[in-house]
Amino acid sequence: MHFSISPPATMPGLQARIDGKTKPPGSLGQLERLALQIGQVQQSLSPSLDHPHLLVFAGDHGAARAGVSAYPQEVTWQMVENFLAGGAAINVFARHNGLQLQVIDAGVAHDFGARDGLVDAKIAFGTHNAIEQAAMSAAERDLALARGAAIARGLADQGCRVMAFGEMGIGNTAAASLLTQQLTGAPLADCVGRGTGLDTVGLARKRTLLAQAVGRAALPPDADALLVLAEFGGFEMAMMAGAMLAAAERGILLLIDGFIVTSALLVATAIAPSLRDYCIFCHRSAEPGHVVQLQALQAEPLLDLGLCLGEGTGAALAWPLVRAAAAFLNEMASFASAGVSGQA
């Protein structure tokens, strides 16, 4: 699967438009850099953030049955039901911040049947146990990438200009840790955290099991990202990576959540490095591996609230800041229009 993603071109006059607003240059700090990025991604001096969507991809992981999580695997499908009922944290934040929520079954180990509000893109009923064998086949990986890309293209055709990403899947911090270790070269211990709340004994067991997975796969340091994804990833991660690539190809602004979403982004940026320029990093997760990811991507997130829930909650909470950046660019008076004297 090929994606053609070019770095956004420098937009003539955009920096001058930002600097010409009735404020000292740089006084809106990170919002000014954000406004510049939004304008460049959209190639517009007056960008619009129409039809924003938050996509929650759900999938199960075979490694969950080995004891890498504090919660049983059935919590994945139960939380999908919670999403569909409107009762999860991401439902609340999306509603209050004007984001259209879309829930995608990428590979949950449960038969939901035909359900309103649920996109059935299921690849299989969960991945294999990556501690013992490759999590998915190359064919499954490629299908997940393609289905994610198709979802993003469909939304782009409907006028979506902003796409936020979230996820749900018991055991997916384990998969994210393995992807992060392999794709950044960081020590495994720096990439593994407590996930959904493991105690000290549980964390030690998780580290031991993931070290076994690394030893089993025995991938070289420069292994192809798609091979790494098949060995260790989840269907929700593969589908997110495909959606990110297709969205950036269509000039859509991407809101990146925490540890799991950023693991998918590591795969996607290995495929198309220019994708990085389309991403707004919404928050710094409490998961230690997220710090490793952010350093590898040279990213400075908007928020640091100690979040580690996932679901896209960090992206939803950062969304008002993104809107504020576009709003001041579009609506704030310039020195000339307001009749205010500029710097001497």
Please name every residue paired with 118 in a beta bridge, in sequence order, or none if there are none: 103
What tokens does 87 get?
């009762």
Spatial distance between the Cα atoms of 214 and 61, rounded to a whole number of angstroms: 16
Q: For residue 344, count CB atoms less than 10 angstroms from its CB and return exposed for 0-12, middle for 13-18, buried for 19 or more.
A: exposed
Q: Which of 32, 140, 287, 311 is catalytic?
A: 311
CA distances from 39 to 11, 47, 58, 129, 250 (A): 7, 6, 32, 43, 15
CB 119 within 8 Å of CB 216: no
Spatial distance between the Cα atoms of 133 and 307, rounded to a whole number of angstroms: 32
- Collapsing DSSP to helix, strand or coil, 294 comes out as helix
The residue type of 93 is F
CA distances from 120 to 60, 108, 147, 241, 274 (A): 14, 10, 10, 17, 30
Rounded to 10°, the helix 259-271/288-297 angle is 30
Spatial distance between the Cα atoms of 181 and 184, rounded to a whole number of angstroms: 6
CB 262 within 8 Å of CB 307: no
For the chain, the maximum distance between any two Cα atoms, rounded to a whole number of angstroms, is: 69
The residue type of 57 is F
- Look up 311 and say whether it is catalytic: yes
Q: What is 53-118 written as a DSSP string? A: EEEEEEE--GGGGGT-SSS-TTHHHHHHHHHHHT-SHHHHHHHHHTPEEEEEEEE-SS---S-TTE
**Which helix or strand (DSSP H or E) is residue 33 part of?**
helix 30-42
Catalytic (active-site) positions: 311
